[in-house]
Amino acid sequence: MIKVGLTGNIGSGKSTVSNIFSTFQIPVFTADLEAKKILEQEDVITKLETFFRTNLKTKEGSIDRQKIASIIFNDQEALNFINNLIHPLVAESFKEWLKHQSNKPYIIHEAAILFESGFDQYMDQIIYVNAPEEIRIQRIISRDQISRSEVLARMSNQWADDRKKDLADYVIENDNYNLIIPQVLNIHQNLLRLSSDV
């Protein structure tokens, strides 16, 4: 079974691409969703509150994601702390999930910071979803209802597009001009061929 990393900078359209792979009956592990689940764990919240020295829960008792985001996107030390806490737990979840996919030709591991976290080293192939910066900015403003400056702050914590494209085996252009499905289908067929050779 081939392990395929799927990544792209914020607003690139990774989720759209992973959804297309799902329609081909390819299992997709979404690292960002798994990280959100882990953030709800009481022991994780306690560690974060101890480090940040503040309450991180909403009135309803769930984790206050907006508060965490406002802290980590302006503080590199805080971002490093939360990444070092969450990433190993996500990796463990992925290993457990992988045990149940052994009959598949390949799997997709979708992660926004696949390269930044060093998790790319565990992948056999990597797909990078690329989109022009201005298109990504507008997508995020529309999706998350945040300001342009907040979007740029989030972007600053990710590697540049060109650096990631150079490290990827495949690049999908999601620029509102190139059709996505034919690009994904082409990669899917190529991965099926590769898996049959393994």
Average pLDDT over residues 169-194: 96
Any idea which of 8-22, 55-69, 121-135, 140-154 has the lowest mean pLDDT?
55-69
pLDDT in tens, 15-38: 999 999 999 999 999 999 999 999
Q: How far apart are CA 177 and CA 167, in angstroms?
A: 24
Cβ atoms of 178 and 109 closer than 8 Å? no
The yes-or-no verdict on residue 171 having pLDDT over 80 is yes
- Domains of the chain are 1-27+105-198 (3.40.50.300), 33-100 (no CATH)
Q: How far is CA 126 from CA 37, 145, 187, 197, in A?
A: 25, 30, 11, 18
> Looking at residues 62-81, what average pLDDT do you find?
82
Query: What's the burial of 42, exposed, middle or buried (CB within 10 Å: 0-12/13-18/19+)?
Result: exposed
pLDDT average, residue stretch 11-15: 94
pLDDT at 139: 93
Q: Is the pLDDT of residue 198 over 80?
A: no
- Identify the DSSP state of 57: B
